[in-house]
Amino acid sequence: MSQQKQSHPDSHLHPEATGLAKTTVEAHAKEQPLKFYAGWFCPFVQRAWLILEEKKIQYQYIEVNPYHKPKSLLDLNPRGLVPTLAYNDRPLYESTVLCEFLEDAFPDSTPKIIPAFHRFLQYQPLKGESEQQAKDGENVVRQEFLGKLKEFTREMDKEGPYFWGKEPKMVDFAIVPWAVRLWVFDYFKSGLGIPEEGQGGDDEGAWARWRKWLNAMEERDSVKATTSEKQYFVPIYQRYADNTAQSELAKAKRSGRGVP
């Protein structure tokens, strides 16, 4: 292994899932025809993982450090990206399928949550800006993200608790990996700014519906079973907050390209 790979800052992430997610991984360690190449930390992985868990599909979980990709993954997917599903050595790229579904179903709202999330998280003030200018700039990307959350919420079924009504659908599972990571803005930024119950003013209806949806999703066994402990995410998201992460997603946002 080259010294360059050894010294890559993103290569030293925690090597495995923790908490309930570790229990889920261990339950899927045995050989299976369907193999799930995954990274415990990745929200795109969690999208596909949730569907596997919700549908009770038998699969083999294979943990991948994206900077030390196994040959078995590269033989299936030359880019070595996770998630990759393989059935009888035939690769499937589940998260891409989900993104295409969302783009077709909600071209003006839902998919834009994810880029707005990363624009806010990776925001850095320009050199020479005053403290006030930096705060104002951060508030612009914060309000953009909050706006996308409200757009998403206003498309929901009025009763819920899920997006389409009483049962969760693909759209719920496609967005929740980012929703359960909103704590990063309290940790790395000066808060996200979603108002407390009863304090949303003219937008209280939207925020009440958001809270109802998020509470319902956080209580899903599949969400609990695929989410690791927060402390192990901190060094990963620290690099995003510093805008130094070298993932394909981080590089795409820095260059102004869309989510890969």
Catalytic center residues: 42
Amino acid letter at 36? F
The number of C-alpha atoms within 13 Å of 135 and in the hemisphere containing its C-beta is: 5
> What does the alpha-carbon distance between residue 158 and residue 161 come to, in Å, rounded to a whole number?
8
The residues, any chain, with a CB within 8 Å of residue 136's CB and separated by 6 or more, are: none
> What does the alpha-carbon distance between residue 118 and residue 243 come to, in Å, rounded to a whole number?
10
Q: How far is CA 22 from CA 28, 39, 226, in A?
A: 10, 12, 8
9 contacts 244 by C-beta, under 8 angstroms: yes
Please give the torsion angle defined by the CA atoms of residues 49, 54, 60 and 63, in that order, rounded to the nearest 10 degrees: 20
8 contacts 65 by C-beta, under 8 angstroms: no
58 contacts 30 by C-beta, under 8 angstroms: no
How many CB atoms are closer than 10 A to CB 83? 24
The angle formed by the CA atoms of residues 224, 50 and 59, to the nearest 5 degrees, is 110
